[in-house]
Structure 1
Amino acid sequence: VADQIAGLKTFLEHVTLKDVLRSLKVQLASLERLKARLLAQVLQAIKAHEDLAARFRLLLSIPGFGPVVAASLAIRMPELGQMRRGQAAALAGVAPFDRDSGQWKGLRFITGGRARVRRMLYLASLAAKRYDPGFKAFHQALLARGKPIKLAIVAVMRKLIEAANLILHRGQPWVKTQPA
């Protein structure tokens, strides 16, 4: 549904006929109501299961994690909280792997993993780097060292998924800290 909404919004940018525009806006509103209804059903199902609800609440404490991201990770990564350091990032597809060959010597790339989880982590990282002082300082430090913007965002994504794994492992919510 989210992909349909995004596609329809893009299509709306190019429509000039008023009747067609009105009809498409009605369709867009309908899809957005459906999306909200589906989210409410998913959240209801999560709250019905005590273990999922506890994981969901813990994930909500992480900066950048809203109900959609927390629900997505609670459902799509049941292994979270049981993995060793680095495994969660690799499973989500945000861990750097070497691919040394010819001119690519020394460069690291992210690859594989769970695409939907990675998409949710991307959204969470955008919010975390903007609003959380710790993640903002981390992101700015990477940029100050000359790292590319996308690399800095992926580094925030990696920190978020590792934090989620640690929080679920400990069973303790996120504790806000001030940047050093």
Structure 2
Amino acid sequence: MPAEELEQRLARLEKALTEIDTARARLVEEIQTLRLGAVTTAHTLQAPAVTMNSRTADKLALFRSLFGGRTDVYAQRWDNPKTGKSGYSPACQNEWAKGICDKPRIKCGDCPNQAFKAFDDAAALRHLTGKPAGKASKRFCAKPRPDTSLGYPRPSLERMATIPSFSCSAAPSVTE
């Protein structure tokens, strides 16, 4: 192929490539615009006016439409009053279950019995109302065990009553 013909062919190919790049950029911009419009339209159509008098289901639907994230698992806050540490970990169905959960010997991340809880309407409702799940949601004042079984001095009922999450007077006493 002569040099002049080769240069013309290269020029045509470069021009075609530039046109393809321009067309691609235009298509990417149109896709982004359409996606943004679809999301905005979906939120506008899905979110009817929700007021204080709306049904709980409508409020939950609004909350879940506005705050996206994983639905297969959610984080649960934990506090350790002894060390003062706190944090978040995945909520697990098997946490502290006898014969299944080997806490604290095995960390949750290494546990073969992980069964993470899904973020469903019940979990969203607990989050919005500030009520923890499971046994922790029951506000009761347990009867203290004898000193010897704990291995450290037990807190007095007066001290336990000062802890914000305890409400000894409002709940029945539970014995083991």
Q: By percentage of residues, which structure has more helix?
A: 1
Asked which structure has the greater CA Rg, the reply is: 2
Q: Structure 2 length normalisation: TM-score? A: 0.34
Higher relative contact order (CA 8 A, sep 6+): 1
